[in-house]
């Protein structure tokens, strides 16, 4: 059901400083800052060639990242995102298997403009998992 890792998300207390460190110290290509009010976050993406690293910081006090950073003042890994080709089928299969989808269970539009859902970390060994719907890739005929 899951495809490749789309990105690994790291919560950071200062998005601009974190982006600068990745750019200047690691020589990475870093996107501009994107605000996602529906998710309560500000993000940048670090390109690594085979996947991305998402650096995320709170957008307002009600952000879920605020609580994460209160427990992890220096930041840390927040979630891992896997690609799926049919998010509604994935949600149906997961819920039928007993997994819990966070929120209202309906996909929301994520940072890449594609539908996403988050899965209850307690159902996956303490790891917050994001699923992102992508179009299936077709190789050469």
Please identify which of the residues 54, 130, 132, 133 carries the catalytic annotation: 130
70-80 burial: b if 16+ Cβ within 10 Å, else e = eeeeebeebbb
130 is catalytic: yes
- C-alpha angle 91/96/97, rounded to 5°? 100
CB atoms near residue 23 (< 10 Å):
14
Q: Which distant-in-sequence residues (6+ apart) come within 8 Å of 5 by Cβ?
A: 51, 80, 81, 82, 83
Coil, strand, or helix at residue 124?
Answer: coil
Q: Which distant-in-sequence residues (6+ apart) come within 8 Å of 116 by Cβ?
A: 81, 87, 107, 108, 109, 110, 130, 131, 132, 133
Catalytic positions, written as ranges: 130
């Amino acid at each position: 059901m899951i495809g490749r890792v789309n990105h690994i998300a790291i919560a950071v207390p200062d998005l601009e400083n974190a982006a600068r460190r990745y750019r200047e110290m690691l020589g990475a290509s870093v996107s501009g800052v994107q605000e996602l009010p529906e998710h309560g976050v500000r993000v940048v993406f670090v390109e690594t060639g085979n996947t991305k690293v998402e650096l995320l910081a709170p957008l307002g006090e009600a952000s879920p990242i605020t609580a994460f950073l209160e427990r992890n003042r220096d930041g840390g890994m927040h979630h891992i995102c896997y690609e799926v080709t049919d998010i509604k089928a994935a949600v149906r299969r997961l819920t039928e298997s007993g997994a819990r989808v966070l929120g209202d269970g309906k996909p929301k539009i994520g940072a890449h403009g594609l539908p996403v859902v988050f899965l209850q970390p307690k159902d996956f060994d303490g790891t917050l998992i994001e699923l992102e719907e992508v179009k299936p890739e077709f190789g050469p005929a």
